[in-house]
Amino acid sequence: MKYEFSENMAINTMLNQVISSITELAENQVTHISNLTKIGQSLSSETDLNKIFDMILEEAIHFTNADGATIYVVSEDGRKLAFEIVYTGSLGLRMGGSHGTVNWPAIDLYDAEGKPRLNHIVTSVYHTKQCVCFEDVYETKEYDISGTIKTDKANNYRCKSMLTIPLKNHEDEVLGVIQVINAMDKEGQISSFSEEHQTMLYSLASQAAIALSNRKLIAGLENLLMEFIKAIGSAIGKKSKYTFDHIDRVANMTDMIAARINECKEGKFADFRFSDNELKELSMAGWLHDVGKITTPEAIMDKSVKLEKIVDRIQIVEQRFETFKLLLMHLMHILSPQEFDILIKGRISEDLDKDSYLEFLDKELEFLKLVNFGGEFLPDADVQRIERLAGIGIEHEGKHYFLIDENEKKNLQIQRGTFLPEEMSIMSAHVSVTWDMLSQLTFPKKFKDVAFYAATHHEKLNGKGYPRGLGAEELPLQSRIIAIADILEALTSADRPYKKPKTLSESLKIMAFMVKDSHLDADLMDFLLDSGLYLDFANRFMNKDYIDQVNIQMLKSFYHPAQ
């Protein structure tokens, strides 16, 4: 649209050109402000830092009409500048951000003696926190640009105008550097970067610094959360070292399974992938799966033998046997054979003669010592044998002499493991405690299922697990992974105080039957075997003496009968 300001055509032409230039400048400014606003909005809504950096790069190039741009980020240790995004339009080069990683080596911020490198442009900008601008960077005498010249020659390029600005946060900490090169004029010729360009880039640098600060803050909080979670496991380790070791191994196995699933390219899990947040969430659940044991009494949690309380009471039983033997020898000495038989017959055994009682007691004590260690199954005959020993007693001079009391009998008659039913109930309660503790915590939304995954590792696919009796349709893959990791560790561990270790093949055979009975997930069991994960776990955590040959086909036949 042209305006008529005067009858003089030259004046009209000049004024219309001025209006056109002002209008174009205003429109560019509006577009720029709009883009800055979008970037600002993205900082609060966009979680992908790569996309934010893409937007910042694109706006920097658009506003300055630069041919190239680079965003550097300070490494975690604060010793290097890493390439985050690299772009050169005329060379068709774009790396980093949403376009993959930049594999170029990071730039050292300090020399071999630990002094700041001030003779290179980007490192100097980092250390001085000041921007630098060149009409022609080749003319600088202050900085070493040999690297720039070498790169230019290799790519048949000429880096001329350059603007480099630090990315500073609200605490004046430099988090990175943004650099643009070769501003282009309307004719496509290299021009200088203006003060307006500098002002705009400072605004973009502030936006980038906010994004970096947010990432560092979120990453720091996530690291703190994970460290706190591991510290809880260490606290349980103060009560029971084997429990901490169990937690550590289950958490690691959980991570190993999830990572291997993400690498899987065939089979049931070929199209399944955990996101980064899902991996972190599952790892947290693995570390917290036994957190409820923090309330489990130590006397139960570390009950290594049936008679253990504070100490192993088999020592007390042994003293009673010795006292009983001394009493018998005393009675043999002061009583006639007839009087001795009358006193003893029916109290110990009807089938023994006088000279066999001491030998009998020695044999029975050895039997109790063996039974005290627990096992997979105590035969009914042994239960009755313990019952008979509990009934042996003699009254002498107003005192009652016996071999084992009622509580000891009850513990020794445990037919599997070392726990009484009420003790097993207390042990099992740790899962409910885990849920009660974790469900009250406000995890970040992306980790909202930590409590559920952690508290469902004793559930079974057939609905007969605990504490809630959930079935297959209610148990996601994450819960199933922790469950299979928990069982594998429990069976193969050599440090459990209440059981003897099993070989790798024995452990996997038990697991195969658990799959058959719909306790564990068949697809995960197949994956464990086919991927070799079972052997990776064994080599990393098991006693080498218990790693034996595994017949995978035979194991699968237990729960895949048709195979």
Beta strands 80-88 and 190-191, pairing class: unpaired
**Whether 81 contacts 109, CB under 8 Å:** yes
**93 token code pair:** 């080069």
Residues 6+ apart with CB under 8 A from 347: 392, 393, 394
- pLDDT at site 394: 87
CA 223 to chain centre: 11
Burial 12-31 (b: 16+ CB within 10 A, else e): eeebeeeeeeeeeeeeeeee
**pLDDT tens-digit map of 51-80:** 777 877 887 888 888 999 999 989 988 999
Most distant CA pair in the chain, distance: 153
Residue with tokens 């974790």: 438
Amino acid at position 265, single letter: K
Instruction: Name which of 262, 316, 298, 299 is nearest 477 in CA terms.
Output: 262
CATH H superfamily, domain 240-294+422-559 = Hypothetical protein af1432 (1.10.3210.10)
Instruction: Name which of 523, 532, 524, 538 is nearest 552 in CA terms.
Output: 532
CA–CA distance, 119 with 115 (Å, rounded to integer): 11
CA–CA distance, 401 with 326 (Å, rounded to integer): 11
**Whether 491 contacts 410, CB under 8 Å:** no
Q: Cα-Cα-Cα-Cα dihedral of 161, 167, 171, 172, to 10°?
A: -20
**pLDDT tens-digit map of 413-450:** 988 888 888 888 888 888 888 899 899 988 888 899 99
- pLDDT at site 461: 96
Residues 6+ apart with CB under 8 A from 407: none
- pLDDT at site 58: 82
- pLDDT at site 259: 96
- Give the domain 46-217 fold: Beta-Lactamase (3.30.450)
The rounded average pLDDT for each run of 10 residues, N- to C-terminus, in the chain (563 residues) is: 61 63 55 52 57 79 88 90 92 88 92 93 95 94 92 92 89 88 90 86 78 73 81 74 82 96 91 93 93 80 77 90 90 83 70 76 92 85 92 87 92 86 84 90 90 95 93 96 94 70 91 95 96 95 92 93 66
Residues 6+ apart with CB under 8 A from 486: 250, 289, 457, 458
Continuous segment of H or E residues that includes residue 522 = helix 522-530
**Whether 368 contacts 314, CB under 8 Å:** yes
**Whether 528 contacts 483, CB under 8 Å:** no
